[in-house]
Amino acid sequence: MKGYAGNILRVDLTAGTTEVQPLSKEQVRDYVGGRGLAARILYDEVAPGTDPLGPDNLFILATGPLAGSRIAGSTRHITACKSPLTGGWGEANAAGRFGPMMKAAGFDAIVVKGQSEKPVYLYVTEGRAELRDASALWGQFIADARETILQQTHSQAEVAVIGPAGEEQCKFACVISENNRAAGRSGTGAVMGSKGLKAVAVFGEEKLRVHDPERLAQLRKEITQMCKEHPACQGFRQNGTAGGIGPHNAMGMYPAYNFKDGVSDEIDKVTGETMTSTILSRRDSCQGCPVACRRVVTIADGPFAVDSRYGGPEFETIGSLGTCVGIYDLKAIAKTNELCNKFGVDTINTGLAIAWAMECFERGIFTKEDTGGLELTWGNVDVVLKLIEDISFRRGLGALLAEGLKAASEKVGQGSEDFALQVKNQAFPVHMPRGKVGQGLSFATSNRGACHTQGMHDTNLEAGKTMPDIGFTDKFKGLSRTSTEHKGEAIALAQDLRAIQDSLIICRFTSWDYGPTPPAMLAEALTAITGEEFTSKDFMEIGARVFNLCRMFNVREGFDRQQDSLPARMAEKLPRGATSDSVITQQDLDRMLDEYYQFRGWSSRGIPTPQRLAQLGLTR
């Protein structure tokens, strides 16, 4: 099967066995790979009500047909499971070498069930797999465990590994490869920890087999050149994702102090430009990608000296563990980033949990007796560093915060739910829905909880971006970022686009609407790889199928319109800035949800109708 390794690796940790299963043509044509393949497997094999941290949950690693093609942005993989954080569909993906290497080792996906009596890691190479004792690795930090596993397997292998946060089953523990490539959301690392699985190491040398290598080579060349010339890609290369901090602040929507403000007077201290001119030591890139967006920083001495193996902070981390907790020191933020990667915990959920706790302290809901003597004041770097460790090891107040914002705020009560910035227990990314109203709808309806990567940024519509062949017609062109008009339809289309992108699997920064590569060109690349004809229309249908399947996974767990919500803070006006007049009231959200559900062919409760499921071939 061109473009695929053609195999799924099945691992039963309870029995200690591995089995190779062929990838079916139906799985390829209807779900492509990545998120789509993982969704089909999880829906079919994880029963409703399954304990996310029990033996019957699955942990899945999957890549897609673009992996190994060296098309810019094609080096991603997905982790998936029933989320211990949300109780529903859980996924996170990351870039780097792991996805292509897993395919080169002989597999498109690895599916793990059961629980091991002792810690183990899985080594996969040349179409074979073995479970190895990881007792000596249990408790090790990310980079140390990875280095040991490379010594025990192959120096050119890649490793997806958990740290103490995953071992302790912090509900937003992540899975990290290359020491700083974090599959950070949904708590997939906690599921690995619950299974006693410390890591998965992969090594292979199998080359990608393609149908039309000449056409693929030409497309690869064209896409690379497009990325080199595209302004957004150039910006990502120059200043990383953090290059967007200044512009967001200028628009009044880079959140500060737990989203109470959207403007920071000290923002120049923490921008991407400042990082470039001060602590940046090098830019790193994925294979075949000219963007080189990854930052590596060097701080050799002082209280915030960092281990450069853990990379550098990005847009999200600078907000969640910087401005949202009142820290405006890049070196201190780099230290928080290092600790999160070292312990294997999601920076977004961690930062927003600490920000919520600080506001509780400010309001008198928490006292020093509740915090174990900690002064949870804004900007207290020492406290933030301690809480990152306490969350990762589930100690003291950290044990409460490790449960997620919804769970923590419901336990504490006293109105703290209103400023717990979460949807479905997944913390907000640092994008301001009050300044990007469609993004607010995207947060509310995302299958994995609040998510900025599975919808569309209203600023792109406002800037006039259209793509008629996938439904983004002139109707959306120039829509204000603070308007609710047509946002239900726009977000549904964007979510379907993201679903196929995550099934291929391709980076947002190189593909439309973040980057330059249009869906039609990716469809042509998939055709060249597989020999099967794909079009933009096919892509959107597959994306809708995948998105609806993930929704149905959640519906089986009791999710409906009630979970498609936003916290009360979104109806509060910001005190200043270009976004200060914009809010999202419950009436605004209800109006957008009605449009969104109608466009999707769902009921008023947000349940996909039998007719819509039949149209998508989801009759089972």
Measured CA to CA, the distance from residue 123 to residue 153 in angstroms comes to: 7
Domain boundaries defined on the chain: 7-203, 248-422, 437-565+585-615
Separation of alpha carbons 504 and 490, rounded Å: 21
The pLDDT score that the predictor gives to residue 620 is 61
Q: Which CATH class is domain 437-565+585-615?
A: mainly alpha
Cα-based angle 128, 130, 131 (whole degrees, multiple of 5): 155
CA separation for the pair 179, 163 (Å, rounded):
10
Asked if residue 227 lies in contact with residue 517, where contact means CB atoms within 8 angstroms, the answer is yes
Quote the CATH superfamily of domain 7-203: Aldehyde ferredoxin oxidoreductase, N-terminal domain (3.60.9.10)
H or E segment at 18? strand 17-22
Is it true that 7-203 and 248-422 share their CATH fold?
Answer: no
Nearest to 361 by CA among 369, 568, 405, 352: 369
**Crossing angle, helix 519-530 and helix 213-229, to 10 degrees?**
150
- DSSP 3-state helix, strand, coil percentages of the chain (rounded to 5)? 45, 15, 45
Find the helix or strand (DSSP H, E) in which 587 lies.
Answer: helix 586-600
- Nearest Cα neighbor of 320 from 428, 392, 236, 419 is 428
pLDDT tens per residue across span 164-191: 999 999 999 999 999 999 999 999 999 9
Q: Which ranges constitute the DSSP H helices of 297-346?
A: 315-320, 330-343
Residue 521, by phi and psi: left (phi above 0), alpha (psi -120 to 50) or beta?
A: alpha
Distance between CA atoms of 176 and 278, rounded to whole angstroms?
Answer: 26
CATH of 248-422, one of 1.20.1440.230, 1.10.569.10, 3.20.20.140, 1.10.150.80: 1.10.569.10
Q: Do the Cβ atoms of 242 and 272 come closer than 8 Å?
A: yes
pLDDT at residue 619 in the model: 80
Closest CA to 385 of 352, 341, 340, 429: 340
CA distances from 329 to 91, 261, 300, 346 (A): 32, 18, 16, 20
CA separation for the pair 610, 620 (Å, rounded): 10
Q: List beta partners, residue 8.
A: 21, 109
- Per DSSP, the three-state class of 278 is coil
Positions of the chain with pLDDT under 70: 620
DSSP state of 485: T
Strand, helix or coil at 158? strand
User: Residue 62 to residues 4, 167, 272: CA-CA distances in angstroms?
Assistant: 11, 22, 32
- Token pair 């020491």 is at which residue? 179
